[in-house]
Amino acid sequence: MPAVSAFKRRLDPLFLVTVVVPTLCAIIYFGFIASDVYVSESEFVVRSPDKPASTGLGVLLKTAGFSNAGDEIYAAHAFVRSRDALHALNKNGAFAKAYGSNDISMFDRFNGFGWRNSFEDLFDYYQKKVGIEHDTSSSITTLTVRAFTPAEALRVNTQLLELSEALVNRLNDRGRKDLVQFASDEVASAEQADRSAALALATFRNQQGIIDPERQATVQLQMISKLQDELIGARLQLLQLRAMAPTNPQIPILQVRINGLAREIDAQLGQVAGNRRSLSATAARYQRLQLEREFADKRLAAAMTSLQDARSEARRKQAYVERIAQPSRPDRAEEPRRLRGIFATFVLGLVAWGILTMLLAGVREHHA
């Protein structure tokens, strides 16, 4: 006992505080208090048919016609670390109950000391138990979940992976619907305009009794030309008869024919031009209506082409979650690393004791 008393007197209080006490606390915590932590991992990639492939695994995926979908990857990452994901996991308080069980040490479980029970506190705790990392070279995303039972680690990992897949599918559906809906609306508008233009043209034709003013004017001008030829011939014949046989009974008949031809020519010219119902008066309106109809037809054709392109583009932009490794069910606890924790505490204590000892020695020399 005298030897023990002498050892206690020689024991440096600073060494006791910085090395012995922390090491004993570490032995007690890691040896008897700390709960086993089981780690479940899964790996997946998000890929799309029309985006350029990267190196490594991306080249292999490109051989199947697929490549990495960067936007969807970042969306999945943000979702896993979000409050929405925690809300889904904590339905009916499942997550809080699993991680707040009395079987877990009070230092490791959620709300172990009873004063942090809000959702934000649970979210802070959740972010410490769930991790997601993205390897830019291979485009593989690794999802890691830490829990205090193998079954719970597997459940949370599986559910988060399913939620990420559902998110990517929702983004696909929303993007595809928006893209196709815009093109469909344009087709509907073009169809309505085309119907209105066709109806306006048909109404004009019914009201005016004209199919095509320009073509009908061409036909009437040809008819007028023939009538004028006949009129010229009849007048020449009349001049010849008057010169050779002034009393010829054919002269009155030719005169009547000439007058009739002149009246018919005037009537035909009036239909072509000269009054409000003439072909020239209606041609301008007809041309405007015809141009509107042609423009509406071209617009409709372009809109239908755009709709087909939008549907093809929507199919090409479809993103997929491909699981590389299914969520694992751990068969042994990977954390905490008890011996390493005790040893690290001992080493850090020695370092702290050495630094403080030198500082105190310098202070004593300075005062001396």
1 pLDDT more than 60: no
Give residue 301's pLDDT band: very low, low, confident or very high (50, 70, 90): confident
Q: What pLDDT does 64 receive?
A: 39
Average pLDDT over residues 135-144: 86
pLDDT tier, 269 (very low <50, low <70, confident <90, very high otherwise): low
Task: Report how far residue 16's alpha carbon sits from residue 7's, in angstroms, rounded to the nearest whole number.
Answer: 12
Contact 158, 77 (CB under 8 A): no
Q: What's residue 61's pLDDT? A: 38
Closest CA to 18 of 10, 30, 26: 26
Which of 21-35, 275-289, 327-341 is the least confident region?
Answer: 275-289
Report the pLDDT value the prediction gives residue 152, as an integer from 0 to 100. Answer: 92
In the prediction, which pLDDT does 126 show? 93
Please give the pLDDT value at position 127.
92
Residues 10-38 have pLDDT tens digits of 557 888 888 888 888 888 877 777 788 89
Q: CA nearest 305: which of 195, 193, 196, 186? A: 186
Domain range summary for the chain, segments of one domain joined by +: 211-315
Percent of the chain with pLDDT over 70: 76
pLDDT-derived band at 60 (thresholds 50, 70, 90) equals very low
Greater pLDDT, 95 or 290: 95
Q: Dihedral through CA 67, CA 72, CA 77, CA 79, nearest 10?
A: -150
pLDDT at 156 over 90: yes
Whole-angstrom CA distances from 120 to 55, 72, 92, 102, 105 are 40, 26, 17, 21, 21
SS (H, E, C) the chain: CHHHHHHHHHCCHHHHHHHHHHHHHHHHHHHHHCCCEEEEEEEEEEEECCCCCCCCHHHHHHCCCCEECHHHHHHHHHHHCCHHHHHHHCHHHHHHHHHCCCCCCCCCCCCCCCCCCCHHHHHHHHHHHEEEEEECCCCEEEEEEEECCHHHHHHHHHHHHHHHHHHHHHHHHHHHHHHHHHHHHHHHHHHHHHHHHHHHHHHHHHHHCCCCHHHHHHHHHHHHHHHHHHHHHHHHHHHHHHHHCCCCCHHHHHHHHHHHHHHHHHHHHHHHCCCCCCHHHHHHHHHHHHHHHHHHHHHHHHHHHHHHHHHHHHHHCCCEEEEEECCCCCCCCCECCHHHHHHHHHHHHHHHHHHHHHHHHHHHHHHC
